[in-house]
Structure 1
């Protein structure tokens, strides 16, 4: 995990160190409009990495969107994936990775460990302090027909590097900041009371709670508060790690 203001500018070097050469970048149109996609693409192209942006998905990505992403990426022969955005971007990126590497449909991977071929290496860059998807080896994807959500997990679905840049959260509208914060707090509480909790998940959950509860109201009142934004982003990540360790 790489954490701190402007850390997204390190994405190019970090990706190159992982051997990225042809990278699918999964980010929704709102992320592009905020300027975040451009900053990431600039960092990647500066070190010679070819980039292929995909934004054909929406909030709560479904199996059709994942299939579209895999169909887009297939002919490009990408060797890596970066998810940039909220939980929808990160989950869609992981979902695409499952289908791109193993074929079929995302529903085939419901559960854990059903990918016969390891997934492509990924970097996760959240732009909201919410789901903590960058800390988890699961993609949550809705079935396009039944609308039921499927948790599809695999050890190789975990990102190689999570880049936590609080500057990227500054552009989030107040209602997005609020809903994402509720999500992160819920994850911390759910993990803390889970029958599957462990000493490790408890450590992450309790630290997440301290960070989130101290700064949630503050970040809503003062959205440009860099310290509060940083605490919320780190807290959401810890909450995601707590969920990962207690599922």
Structure 2
């Protein structure tokens, strides 16, 4: 269809999948081949068309990233296709466009944005630029997530979520993600569990796991949660922050255990093997391999 109209630019209007689809179209339209040819980084052989992103959810932050996550139609594996040429020239954030989301979409995309803020804050690639975006994203998301769940028409809260998700996307662009996303992707590929559900179940366990070595970093985030005032609740700050995140997912009505989603315990080693192959896991601050990832699945079961 793009070839039929000979476009001068592309507009990605919708959620993260829609914006990533626009990037995928741009790769293939501008450079030829199949989308699988762009799995990885820096694979675009020619300049891409300029793109405008108009997000209608507050989740992926794709409008601020040079990566597109495209699921293979046969294997359901998520292919990360990244190239600086794929960055959108303009991102238009209008919270009014997010008001008509079903509550479930608000919940699923919102918890994903929360995970982006938390994971980028502690990755092995964290730096001054990414930390500034992660910190601001976390403040906005922690303040507004439960507000949009309770009052879906609250435009101020919607705007806070949308800006927070965008800042978290910029944090990903300057840092990376971690073990939570490595664990979530196989749950989607093998069981069709929605990404936000998988994230919501795994994030608290990853926070506690990483907190063994990096508790201080999580304490810094905890200080921005009004209900805790930075208090580690007489224990590790990572445990307190994990409780905050778990409460977000609970209020959103998301499942808390893998067993609630039809995951079979005997398949956990297979999931862990696949999770160990995920690129994002290599940026987790605490080293993870198949054994550690299996233990995290067990905790979430």
- With normalisation by structure 2, the TM-score equals 0.58
Task: Report the counterpart of residue 44 of structure 1 in structure 2.
Answer: none
User: Which 4+ stretches in 1 moved above 3 angstroms?
Assistant: none
Cα distance between partner residues in 2 of 1:223 and 1:146: 36
For the pair 1:235 / 2:164, whether they are aligned, the reply is: yes
Counterpart among 92, 100, 116 of residue 171 in structure 1: 100
Task: Report the counterpart of residue 153 of structure 2 in structure 1.
Answer: 224
Aligned residue pair count: 176
1:236, CA displacement in angstroms? 0.4
Cα distance between partner residues in 1 of 2:67 and 2:141: 23
Give the root-mean-square deviation of aligned CA atoms.
0.7
Task: Report the counterpart of residue 46 of structure 1 in structure 2.
Answer: none
Task: Report the counterpart of residue 74 of structure 1 in structure 2.
Answer: 3
For the pair 1:184 / 2:125, whether they are aligned, the reply is: no
* CA offsets 1:139-172 (integer angstroms, 9 cap, x no match): 1001112111111011110000000000101111
Cα distance between partner residues in 2 of 1:131 and 1:114: 22
Unaligned ranges ≥5, structure 2: 177-301
Q: Alignment partner of 1:196: what SS?
A: coil
Counterpart among 119, 124, 144 of residue 215 in structure 1: 144
Task: Report the counterpart of residue 99 of structure 1 in structure 2.
Answer: 28
* CA offsets 1:109-159 (integer angstroms, 9 cap, x no match): 111111111110000000001000000001100111211111101111000
Q: Alignment partner of 1:164: what SS?
A: coil
Task: Report the counterpart of residue 121 of structure 1 in structure 2.
Answer: 50
1:75, CA displacement in angstroms? 2.2
1:238, CA displacement in angstroms? 0.4
Cα distance between partner residues in 2 of 1:147 and 1:231: 32
Unaligned ranges ≥5, structure 1: 1-71
Q: Show the 5 A alignment for 1:5-24.
A: none
Task: Report the counterpart of residue 130 of structure 2 in structure 1.
Answer: 201
Counterpart among 133, 137, 144 of residue 62 in structure 2: 133
1:107, CA displacement in angstroms? 0.7
Q: Show the 5 A alignment for 1:34-73.
A: 72-73=1-2
Larger strand fraction of residues: 1
For the pair 1:89 / 2:18, whether they are aligned, the reply is: yes
* CA offsets 1:15-59 (integer angstroms, 9 cap, x no match): xxxxxxxxxxxxxxxxxxxxxxxxxxxxxxxxxxxxxxxxxxxxx
1:193, CA displacement in angstroms? 1.1
Larger helix fraction of residues: 2
Q: Alignment partner of 2:92: what SS?
A: strand
Task: Report the counterpart of residue 40 of structure 2 in structure 1.
Answer: 111
* CA offsets 1:59-93 (integer angstroms, 9 cap, x no match): xxxxxxxxxxxxx1112211110000000100000
Task: Report the counterpart of residue 56 of structure 1 in structure 2.
Answer: none
